[in-house]
Amino acid sequence: MAALATTAFAAHATDNPATGKLLFEDTMNQTGLSFTGNCTSCHTNVQNRRAEIHFKTGGGSRDPFAAIDAETALNRIGYALNNVSAMKQFQVLEADQLTDLAAFIADTPKTSDTALSFSASAVNTPTVSQNLDLRNGVTFGQVTVDSVAIGGTGAARFTLKSDTCTAQKLAASATCRATISFSAADTAGYSATLTMTMHQGSSTTKFTRTVALDGAVGVVTPPPSGGNGGGTSGGNNSDEGGGALGVAWLGGLAIATALLRRRQGRATR
């Protein structure tokens, strides 16, 4: 199976984090193969492995709770199988075993979206609300959501319409939902960040999931019909009859007056 290590594996919805957990923690007994150790021989626990993957894929820190995806984890496993001496013995693992391992490493709470965009139909008109779900992992253990908040320069333009996450204790695979809308008094674009803060089990270490928000008014409502819009399009509602329509009306009145005077002159002759 060594050839598998040279490809970028694709993660699938059928990947099983629970099976991956067993493989990670007890590789030899789960596979019936002879290795010099289990996955935990190199990495004390899955948090350690997750933190290393997050750091080495540009995460900027070794975050044991990072929201890495299964494909990223799988690609790092493939890299290790080819380039780390202690890992080459695991090249005999089947492809589905490798994808299950990756699914376990990536099995953390995740939001349904990493960004939400809003487009209002007019100024001072709220958009249709959008839902954002937080789903706990299969093997991650209970998660308590401490808070859900919107921050950033444009935060005042976004409204947290509902929140079933704050103070919620999420069991394995459980979900909660936040609902957000946008409204603005002008056509400028606005951005903000929705942050969900949480902790695992009885741990006092908090971690977050952030979602980028952006919004703008897509259509500007025109002034009411007959209003003072200025210009020469007939928007002037003054008594002077401004605009092209006013000029035409005055011209017609002058002609009618002249014809009336001619008729009156003929009648007196």
Q: Among residues 161, 158, 159, 149, which one has the least CA distance to residue 216? A: 158
Q: Which residues does 51 contact at the CB level (< 8 Å), separation at least 6?
A: 62, 63, 64, 66
Residue 227 has pLDDT above 50, yes or no: no
What pLDDT was estimated at residue 14?
Answer: 72
Dihedral angle over CA of 45, 46, 49, 52, nearest 10? -100
Write out pLDDT tens, residues 36-74: 778 888 888 999 999 999 999 998 999 999 999 999 999
What pLDDT was estimated at residue 15?
Answer: 87
Residue 232 has pLDDT above 50, yes or no: no
- In this prediction the pTM is 0.75
Mean pLDDT, the chain, integer: 82
Q: DSSP 3-state assignment of 171?
A: coil
Buried b (16+ CB within 10 A) or exposed e, 214-236: bbbbeeeeeeeeeeeeeeeeebb
Widest distance between CA atoms in the chain: 131
Per-residue tokens: 196: 């969900």
Of these ranges, 51-60, 73-82, 129-138, the one predicted with the greatest mean pLDDT is 129-138
Number of H helices, E strands in the chain: 7, 9
224: confidence class by pLDDT, cuts 50, 70, 90: low
33: confidence class by pLDDT, cuts 50, 70, 90: confident
Using a pLDDT cut of 70, give the percent of the chain over it: 76
What number does CATH give the domain 110-217? 2.60.40.10
Every domain of the chain and the residues it spans: 2-105, 110-217
Residue 201 has pLDDT above 50, yes or no: yes
